[in-house]
């Protein structure tokens, strides 16, 4: 193992020890760089915007999974039933 790997591991361990008092949502927010709202007074619209963005991201991820599975059915089904099922899934 090189020194960089050890340094990264130590940083992760230190971060985990320092953030034990934070909740899971705060850790995820910090991981994705959504800001540190603990010590700042923010208008409610900022929180609403973050929730809407999170929900839109979740909906788009689910849509992507549905589209990928439908194309899988179209290309790898041996009968017309699979293609019909995939078309029905997309519509």
For 35-62, the pLDDT digits (tens) are: 655 556 778 888 888 899 999 999 999 9
pLDDT of res. 39? 57
Q: What is the DSSP string of 17-61?
A: HHTTTS-HHHHHHHHTT----SSS---HHHHHHHHHHHHHHHHHH
Please state the pTM of the whole predicted model: 0.52
pLDDT of 16 over the 60 cut = no
pLDDT of 80 over the 70 cut = yes
Q: Pick the residue with more confidence: 80 or 1?
A: 80
Q: Where are the domains of the chain?
A: 1-41, 56-91
Q: Running DSSP on this structure, what letter comes out for residue 82?
A: H
């Amino acid at each position: 193992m090189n020194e960089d790997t050890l340094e990264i591991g130590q940083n992760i361990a230190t971060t985990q020890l320092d953030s034990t008092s934070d909740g899971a949502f705060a850790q995820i927010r910090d991981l994705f760089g959504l800001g540190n709202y603990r010590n700042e007074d923010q208008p409610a619209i900022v929180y609403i915007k973050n929730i809407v963005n999170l929900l839109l991201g979740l909906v788009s991820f689910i849509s992507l999974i549905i589209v990928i599975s439908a194309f899988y059915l179209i290309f790898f089904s041996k009968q017309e039933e699979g293609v019909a099922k995939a078309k029905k899934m997309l519509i």
